Amino acid sequence: MEETTESRKKLLELQERRATILRHGGDDKVEGQHAKNKKAARERIELLLDKDSFLEYGAFVKTRSTYYGLDKMDLPTDGVVTGLGTIGGRKVAVYAQDFTILGGSLGEAHALKIARMQDLALQSGIPCIALLDSGGARIQEGIDSLDGYGRIFFRNSRSSGAIPQISLILGPTAGGAVYSPAITDFIIMTRKTSTMYITGPAVVKDVLAEDVTHEQLGGGLVHNQRSGVAHFLTADDDDAIATARELLSYIPQSFRELPPTRPTQDPVDREEESLRGLIPSDTNKPYDVKDIIAKIVDDSQFLEVHRLFAPNIVVGFSRIGGRAVGIIANQSKFMAGVLDINASDKASRFIRFCDCFNIPLLTLVDVPGYMPGTAQEHGGIIRHGAKLLYVYSEATVPKVTLILRKAYGGAYVGMCSKYLGADMVLAYPSAEIAVMGASGAAEVIFAREIKNSEDPEATRAKRIQEYKDQFSNPYRAAERGSVDDIIDPKDTRLKLAQAFAALETKREVYPEKRHGNIPL
C-alpha cells in the first residue's frame, strides 16, 4: 500500500517529537551537566544497561498542571526517563531523573511514572534502580507533588525485602527526595557532585545562624563516613554505575530466587599456609581482617559495603566456591574491633538484607566486647546492640561463624554464636572464648588473693596464666558443643566451602505471626 502524504506527515511529526524528547532540556542544559562532571539522564541509563536493552515507558508524558505557566513550558518526559532493561542479561526496572528539565523536580506526572516502574518491578520480581538528580518537590504543583512522594515512599516500603532496590545519588536530593533512597537497600553517592539533606544551607543559616556548604551539610563523604546514610562513595557517574552493576551481580532478582553463581578457577580446596601467621599471638596487637577475607574467598574479590562508616566492623559481598556470601567481620585495626552503636547498626542492616534475599552469612569473630562509656550508654548501646542479637536470631539463611581470636562476653554471643542461630561454628586454635580477657577475669576472681599476697604481681601473673590455660582457648567451648570444629587456618577455604555446600538446602520457617518488633 502506497505511503500517503498524510501518513508521511504523521511520521515526520513523530520523529520531530521524539527528537525533542531525546534532547532532554536542550543542548545547553546537557552541556551544563557535563560541565559539572555529570551525565544526562539517558546517558546514565545507556551506561547502566546492556547495549540496546532499554524499553522506555512514558516518553511522551507531560504535566497536567496549569499553575504558574507550567502548561506553556516544554517539559519532555516531565523530567524523568523510565523503563525496563537488562544488566548482565538480567531484567531490571530503572528510572533516571533529568536535571535539565526544571531541575529534575518531582511533580504529579513525574511521580506517576516512577510509581509505574516500582509497580512493574514488584509484579515482575526484578530489581528497581533509581538514578536520582533532583531539586526536590516541584513547588508549582503544590500538594500533587507532595502526594507524589507519598506514592513512591509507599511502594519503596512495600517492595522492601521482596525485590532489591538501589539508589544512585548523582546530583542534589533535598527535602522529601531523600526519603525514598533512605528506604531502599543501598545508596551510592559520588564525590563532589551528589548531596542529600532535609533542608539546605540557606535554611540552616536562617534558622540556626550556621554557615555550611552543600558539601559539608550533605555531601557524599559526610553520608558515607559520618551519618552512615550512604553505603558507597564513588568518584563520578561512571564509577557509581559500575558499582551498581557489580553489586547486582551478588544479588538475586527477588526474594523468591537464590543469588546468581559465578564459575571460578580458584579451587575450593586451595590451602593458604599464610593464614597460619596472619593473626598475632599477642591479643592486643591488631591486624587487617580484610587480609584474611582476601585469602579465603574466590579470586580475592570482596565488595565492601559501608567502607568508611563504623570501620571497626567490616561487611560486604564475596563468593566461596562460586556461591555468593555476605561477610561480617570484626576489624581489630579500628577500636580493637569492639562493637559500638554504629557498628551494631551497620552490621544489623547488612545481615537483614542478606536474609531477605537468600544470601548465606559468614561471620568472622575477633571481638573484645561492647564499647563502654557514658557516650555509648546514653546513646542507646543497649538498644542498638540488641538489633544485632535480633537480626542474627531472625535470619534463616545458612549461617557459618569462624572465631579467629577474641570472643568475649555478650559480644561473643552477639556475633552469631551457636545459640544465637549459627548453623556451624568453627574456630582457629588461636580462639579465646570467654566471659572476658584473662587479665580482667583474674582481677575479679582473685582480687582478694592478689591484694593480700606477699607478691601481688607474681600472684596476678600466675592467676592470669591459670585462667588462660583454663578458658582462653577454643577447647572448652568445643567440649560443650558451642564450637563444632577447630580447624587449621590453612584449610579455612575448604572448610567454609564444605559448610556452605552442606547447608545449601537448609529451609527454616518462621513461627506464625504478623512480624517481629525489632528494637529500632
CATH number, domain at 95?
Answer: 3.90.226.10
- Cα gap 387→380, rounded to integer Å: 11
- Cell digits for 278? 596472619
- Whether residues 467 and 350 share a domain: the answer is no
Least confident of 51-60, 107-116, 199-208, 329-338: 199-208
Rounded to an integer, the average pLDDT of 139-160 is 93
- Cα gap 49→44, rounded to integer Å: 9
Active site residue 58: no
Rounded to an integer, the average pLDDT of 396-400 is 97
- Whether residues 371 and 462 share a domain: the answer is no
- Whether residues 145 and 196 share a domain: the answer is yes
Domain assignment of residue 264, yes or no? no
- Whether residues 30 and 177 share a domain: the answer is yes
Rounded to an integer, the average pLDDT of 383-392 is 96
Nearest CA-CA partner of 169 in 117, 121, 236: 236
Share of the chain above pLDDT 90, in %: 77
- Whether residues 461 and 477 share a domain: the answer is no
Least confident of 249-253, 453-457, 498-502: 453-457
Domain assignment of residue 265, yes or no? no
- Kindly name the residue from 175, 200, 218, 220 that is annotated as catalytic: 175
- Mean of per-residue pLDDT scores for the chain: 93
Three-class SS of residue 497? helix
- Whether residues 442 and 432 share a domain: the answer is no
3-state SS, one letter per residue, for 380-401: CHHHHHHHHHHHHHHCCCCEEE
Domain assignment of residue 231, yes or no? yes
In DSSP notation, 130-150 reads EEE----B-GGGTHHHHHHHH
Greater confidence (503 vs 2) lies with 503
- pLDDT band at 455, cuts 50/70/90? confident
For the entire predicted model, the pTM comes to 0.94
- Cα gap 280→285, rounded to integer Å: 6
- Kindly name the residue from 322, 410, 421, 440 that is annotated as catalytic: 410
- Kindly name the residue from 176, 326, 337, 369 that is annotated as catalytic: 176
- Whether residues 350 and 483 share a domain: the answer is yes
Least confident of 152-161, 184-193, 307-316, 464-473: 464-473
Query: How high is the pLDDT of residue 266?
Result: 96
Domain assignment of residue 459, yes or no? yes
Query: How high is the pLDDT of residue 458?
Result: 76
Three-class SS of residue 193? coil
Q: Could you count the other beta carbons within 10 Å of the beta carbon of residue 498?
A: 17
- Whether residues 170 and 193 share a domain: the answer is yes
Domain assignment of residue 259, yes or no? no
Domain assignment of residue 518, yes or no? no
Rounded to an integer, the average pLDDT of 369-392 is 95
Overall domain count for the chain: 3
Residue partners of 185: CB distance under 8 A and separation at least 6: 160, 164, 165, 166, 353
- Taking only the tens place, the pLDDT of each residue in 329-359 is 999 999 999 999 999 999 999 999 999 999 9
Share of the chain above pLDDT 70, in %: 98
- Kindly name the residue from 411, 427, 431, 499 that is annotated as catalytic: 411
What's 372's DSSP letter? P
3-state SS, one letter per residue, for 348-371: HHHHHHHHHCCCCEEEEEEECCEC
Query: How high is the pLDDT of residue 137?
Result: 84
> In 23-107, which ranges are continuous DSSP H helix?
27-35, 41-48
Rounded to an integer, the average pLDDT of 4-10 is 88
Query: How high is the pLDDT of residue 34?
Result: 96
Domain assignment of residue 26, yes or no? yes
- Cell digits for 26? 536542550
Residue partners of 440: CB distance under 8 A and separation at least 6: none
In DSSP notation, 23-36 reads TTT-HHHHHHHHHT
With cell 506527515, the residue in question is 9
Nearest CA-CA partner of 498 in 269, 273, 263, 297: 269
- Cell digits for 277? 601467621
- Taking only the tens place, the pLDDT of each residue in 473-502 is 899 999 999 999 999 999 999 999 999 999
What's 373's DSSP letter? S
Range of the domain at 422: 273-436+473-502
Active site residue 175: yes
Asked whether residue 280 carries a pLDDT value surpassing 90, the answer given is yes
- pLDDT band at 2, cuts 50/70/90? low
Tell me which of 231, 248, 265 is where a domain ends: 248
Q: Check: CB of residue 357 under 8 Å from CB of residue 255.
A: yes
- Whether residues 244 and 329 share a domain: the answer is no
Rounded to an integer, the average pLDDT of 180-196 is 96
**Phi first, then psi: what are they for 336, rounded to 5°?**
60, 15
Q: How many CA atoms lie within 13 A of 448 on its CB side?
A: 0
- Cα gap 350→305, rounded to integer Å: 8
In DSSP notation, 195-236 reads EEESS-HHHHHHHH-----HHHHHBHHHHHHTS---SEEESS
- Taking only the tens place, the pLDDT of each residue in 51-71 is 999 999 999 988 777 777 787
Domain assignment of residue 43, yes or no? yes
Active site residue 176: yes
- Whether residues 113 and 129 share a domain: the answer is yes
Q: What is the distance of C-alpha 20 from the center of its chain?
A: 38
- Whether residues 130 and 105 share a domain: the answer is yes
- Whether residues 445 and 494 share a domain: the answer is no
Q: How many CA atoms lie within 13 A of 99 on its CB side?
A: 25
